[in-house]
């Protein structure tokens, strides 16, 4: 029999509906792949085979009864940030040891309601803080890709490193992920997969462990643009449990795929040409421009003048919100408790041993920028900068630009335990230079693979859209995907 894990979601869906394969066969193929390859890649931190097979069986029954949902029988991996009822949910932190929620996040509920099957929980940077998946309590994830002629382990990007690696290595058909400053798009770019961060408010945040609530959004990582469109349609919803989710009709994203780009205006922001950016990235960007032009889009140069303030402002706003959100982990309500001589001592010991270094760094920065005397100088100032960044985008969209094309990341995947990055957190933060603006402005952004660098590693381009216009992103990204071709990671099993 052909390898079932080679099927995209769209292909598997069609074969399941035609009863050419069963959900149980498909799920078993993925469980076998996980069993073989996960020891090496560390993409899953909890596998749920019994649950997966039960769900697959129920899918087969619905398929037989002609009652299939949009994702009936499709096996997915779930980032450990999503609350999954009765199943390991720890945001890959030690402080949430043993936590199994009594609830299900809205996004995962939506997926199960459409018939998807859960394979397990995916590794990530602790509390989604990071760009390399190295801050996970469960250890780093390996990128399934290798540079030409090298066997050195590379990072899959972060924070959704487990999601991206699992999709690239075919350990799931698709995965959920979240993006606060780039955590869907950067790992997608590092692994040759497609990742979309939808508009803030498109997906409910309810039941997802909070990092920075005004920036966090859920979205899919998938093997191709069509699969990402199918997954987002299912994940998105307005939700009375998240008042920032928005009641705007969710289009059938898949139906836009393949539509010509005639009449679309694509903006190229000069501020995304940063100093020290490798020549290869510039070349890739130019190639992307040429592809979109060939497909009928018109290209215009634009300026987003406040771009250079986005990263510093993000690293004030995100830690500020994180320091507040993470105050709830006190050893009383969830997870780890380290006993102390009194309650304050217990809090201190629990938080000291429960949080990793990067999380502690964010809590300290966040507490500092929110403290009396510094609030106006840092937090308030960063909020003002955020408004200016948003206005830059509003101005170009107002002038008729439909979408903006940029590189997704300033480099390809780097090595695990890269000393240069490990010794300087600010260097690690620079990974997000092209992605954080999108979160600051609440806009949708998609990363799509567009080529390989000279070492044979995937590189991605990013498209940024108007609020709630994910459709144009799928339409445009598909053109890039068609021109660039698909990039398959080496097989691990």
Active site residue 131: no
Given a contact cutoff of 8 angstroms between Cβ atoms, the answer to whether 297 and 483 are in contact is: no
Q: Taking contact as CB under 6 A, which single stretch among the options 175-183, 272-280, 289-297, 382-390 is the one that binds ligand GLN?
A: 175-183
When binding is defined by CB under 6 A, the residue of 42, 163, 176, 180 that contacts ligand GLN is 180
What does the per-residue mask of binding to ligand GLN show for 393-432, with x meaning CB under 6 A? ---------------------------------------x
What is the torsional sign of CA 283, 288, 292, 298?
negative
Query: Does 193 participate in binding ligand GLN (rule CB under 6 A)?
Result: no
CA distances 199 to 94, 216, 236, 434, 464, Å, are: 31, 10, 10, 16, 10
Q: Taking contact as CB under 6 A, which single stretch among the options 8-16, 128-136, 263-271, 456-464 is the one that binds ligand GLN?
A: 128-136
Active site residue 93: no
HSE toward the beta carbon, residue 77, CA cutoff 13 A: 38
- Residue 167 has phi, psi (to 5 degrees) of -70, -45
Q: Taking contact as CB under 6 A, which single stretch among the options 69-77, 176-184, 269-277, 383-391 is the one that binds ligand GLN?
A: 176-184
* Least distance in angstroms from the C-beta of 123 to ligand GLN: 14
Given a contact cutoff of 8 angstroms between Cβ atoms, the answer to whether 33 and 11 are in contact is: no
Given a contact cutoff of 8 angstroms between Cβ atoms, the answer to whether 164 and 142 are in contact is: no
Q: Taking contact as CB under 6 A, which single stretch among the options 8-16, 37-45, 124-132, 259-267 is the one that binds ligand GLN?
A: 124-132
What does the per-residue mask of binding to ligand GLN show for 310-339, with x meaning CB under 6 A? --------x---------------------
When binding is defined by CB under 6 A, the residue of 56, 128, 218, 231 that contacts ligand GLN is 128
Active site residue 270: no
* Least distance in angstroms from the C-beta of 439 to ligand GLN: 7
Given a contact cutoff of 8 angstroms between Cβ atoms, the answer to whether 222 and 193 are in contact is: yes
Rounded to the nearest 5 degrees, what angle is found at the Cα of 247, between the Cα atoms of 220 and 400? 75
In the region spanning residues 207 to 236, those forming contacts with ligand GLN, defined by CB under 6 A, are: 211
Burial class (CB in 10 A: 0-12, 13-18, 19+), 62: middle
**From 93, 132, 163, 183, active-site residue:** 183
Q: Which residue has the tokens 């694509």?
A: 266
The whole-angstrom separation of Cα 163 and Cα 123 is 7
**From 59, 105, 132, 159, active-site residue:** 159
Q: Which residues are catalytically annotated?
A: 79, 159, 183
What residues line the site for ligand GLN (CB under 6 A)? 128-131, 159, 179-183, 211, 318, 432
């Amino acid at each position: 029999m052909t390898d079932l894990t080679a099927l995209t979601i769209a292909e598997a869906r069609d074969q399941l509906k035609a009863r050419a394969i069963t959900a149980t066969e498909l799920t078993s193929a993925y469980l076998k792949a996980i069993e073989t390859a996960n020891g090496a890649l560390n993409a899953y931190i909890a596998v749920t085979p019994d649950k997966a097979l039960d769900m697959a069986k129920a899918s087969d029954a619905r398929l037989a009864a002609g009652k299939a949902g949009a994702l009936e029988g499709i096996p997915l991996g779930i980032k450990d940030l999503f609350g999954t009822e009765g199943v390991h949910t720890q945001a890959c932190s030690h402080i949430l040891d043993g936590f199994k929620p009594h609830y299900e996040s809205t996004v995962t509920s939506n997926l199960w309601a459409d018939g998807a099957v859960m394979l397990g929980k995916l590794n990530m940077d602790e509390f989604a803080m990071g760009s390399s998946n190295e801050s996970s309590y469960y250890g780093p994830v390996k990128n399934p890709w290798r540079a030409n002629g090298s066997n050195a382990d590379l990072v899959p990007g972060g924070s959704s490193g487990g999601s991206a690696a699992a999709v690239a290595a075919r350990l799931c058909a698709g995965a959920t992920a979240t993006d606060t400053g780039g955590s869907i798009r950067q790992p997608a770019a590092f692994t040759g997969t497609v990742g979309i961060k939808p508009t803030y408010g498109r997906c409910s945040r309810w039941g997802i462990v909070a990092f920075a609530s005004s920036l966090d959004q859920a979205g899919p990582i998938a093997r191709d643009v069509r699969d990402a469109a199918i997954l987002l349609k299912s994940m998105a919803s307005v939700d009375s449990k998240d008042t920032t989710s928005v009641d705007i009709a969710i289009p059938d994203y898949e139906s836009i795929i393949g539509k010509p780009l005639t009449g679309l205006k694509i903006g190229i922001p000069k501020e995304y040409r940063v100093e020290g950016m490798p020549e290869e990235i510039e070349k890739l960007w130019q190639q992307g421009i040429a592809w979109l032009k060939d497909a009928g889009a018109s290209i215009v140069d634009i300026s987003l003048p406040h771009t250079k303030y986005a990263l510093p402002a993000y690293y004030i706003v995100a830690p500020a919100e994180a320091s507040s959100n993470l105050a709830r982990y006190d050893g009383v309500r969830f997870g780890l408790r380290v006993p102390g001589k009194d309650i304050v001592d217990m809090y201190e010991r629990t938080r000291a041993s429960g949080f990793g270094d990067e999380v502690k760094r964010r809590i300290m920065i966040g507490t500092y920028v929110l403290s009396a005397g510094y609030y106006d100088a840092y937090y308030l100032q960063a909020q003002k900068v955020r408004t200016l960044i948003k206005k830059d985008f509003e101005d170009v969209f107002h002038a008729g630009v439909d979408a903006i094309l940029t590189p997704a990341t300033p480099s390809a995947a780097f090595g695990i335990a890269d000393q240069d990055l490990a010794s300087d957190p600010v260097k690690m933060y620079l990974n997000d230079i092209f992605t954080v603006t999108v979160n600051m402005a609440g806009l949708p952004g998609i990363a799509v693979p567009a080529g390989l660098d000279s070492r044979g590693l995937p590189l991605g381009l990013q498209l940024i859209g108007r609020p709630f216009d994910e459709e144009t992103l799928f339409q445009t990204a598909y053109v890039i995907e068609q021109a660039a071709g698909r990039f398959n990671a080496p097989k691990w099993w």
